[in-house]
Amino acid sequence: MFSSLRIAFAIACFFALGAPAFAQDASPPPSDQEIPDAVPPADAEIPDAVPPTDAEIPDAVPPTDAETPDAVAPANDAAPTRNPTAMDPAPADPSLLPVFKDFGEMPGLTALMDDFMVLLLADPRTKGFFENADQKGVKRHLAEQFCVILGGPCTYTGRDMKTVHEGFGINRSQFNALVEDLQIAMSKRHIPFRSQNKLLAKLAPLHRDIEEK
């Protein structure tokens, strides 16, 4: 329904990176798909979530012995330095608590991020942005961000989107690729399309702090 849906979710993804989430030398993926007509909500357009396709999400790769354990966030991680000109990366909306439950609360969001990262690493359009990134940190910050936005009892410990993504030259086609993978992950977990769209609508305005092209 709306192209901003793609913008919205891509924003979330790029936004939550606590460590560099993109390879500086990654070339922008091709974007030859047509974006459906959209109706502008607020400042950005949000399309309906795309129903699940026949494509299967690859199974998550189990951790190996070489994998590093989850890092314990430092004491000051709960209040990272943020650009005063940047938007609030996680604007809480208590009215979305029913949507938070549709996502399976924090355990469901954590599982969603695992599926999402598998897709991002398998997608040649996004692999270069994440293969050398702090993947555990990215997943943790995304889960925290979504939890706060949906009215859950969480604290977002990441940085603002403008600070995290400055200098990466992120463009709309890269957003779109991220949104597609996120929608597949959400559909795999049987999250209602209506609930998907409510989350994406909250994330959509943040694209102004992420896109540089």
The CATH number given to whatever domain includes residue 203 is: 1.10.490.10
| pLDDT at site 203 | 84
| pLDDT at site 49 | 56
Give the confidence band of 61 by pLDDT, cuts at 50, 70, 90: low
Quick check: 175 pLDDT over 90? Answer: no
Residues contacting residue 51 through CB under 8 Å, at least 6 positions apart: 187, 193
Q: Which one of 25-34, 45-54, 143-152 scores highest in mean pLDDT?
A: 143-152
CB 10 within 8 A of CB 53: no
What are the angstrom distances between the C-alpha of 61 and each of 49, 114, 122, 130, 187? 27, 10, 11, 15, 20
The answer to the question of residue 88 being in a domain is no
Q: Which one of 63-77, 84-98, 157-171 scores highest in mean pLDDT?
A: 84-98
SS (H, E, C) 115-132: HHHHHHHHCCCCHHHHCC
How many independent structural domains does the chain possess? 1
The answer to the question of residue 128 being in a domain is yes
| pLDDT at site 51 | 52
Higher pLDDT, 86 or 40: 86
pTM of the model: 0.65
% of the chain beyond a pLDDT of 70? 62
* Per-residue pLDDT tens digits for 104-155: 999 999 999 999 999 999 998 888 888 999 999 999 999 999 999 999 999 9
CA 210 to chain centre: 12
Query: Helix count (H) and strand count (E) of the chain?
Result: 9, 0
- In one-letter notation, the amino acid at residue 181 is D
The answer to the question of residue 39 being in a domain is no
| pLDDT at site 165 | 75
- Domain hosting 175: range is 1-17+93-213
Average pLDDT over residues 96-111: 97
**Residue/partner pairs of 153-157 with CB below 8 Å, 24 or more apart:** 154/106, 155/78, 156/89, 156/90, 157/18, 157/73, 157/77, 157/78, 157/80
The answer to the question of residue 101 being in a domain is yes
The answer to the question of residue 55 being in a domain is no
The answer to the question of residue 177 being in a domain is yes
The answer to the question of residue 32 being in a domain is no
Which contiguous run of DSSP H or E holds residue 209?
helix 207-210
SS3 content of the chain, % helix, strand, coil (to 5): 50, 0, 50
The answer to the question of residue 151 being in a domain is yes
CA 194 to chain centre: 17
Round to whole Å and give the CA distance between 48 and 46: 7
| pLDDT at site 53 | 52
Higher pLDDT, 83 or 9: 83
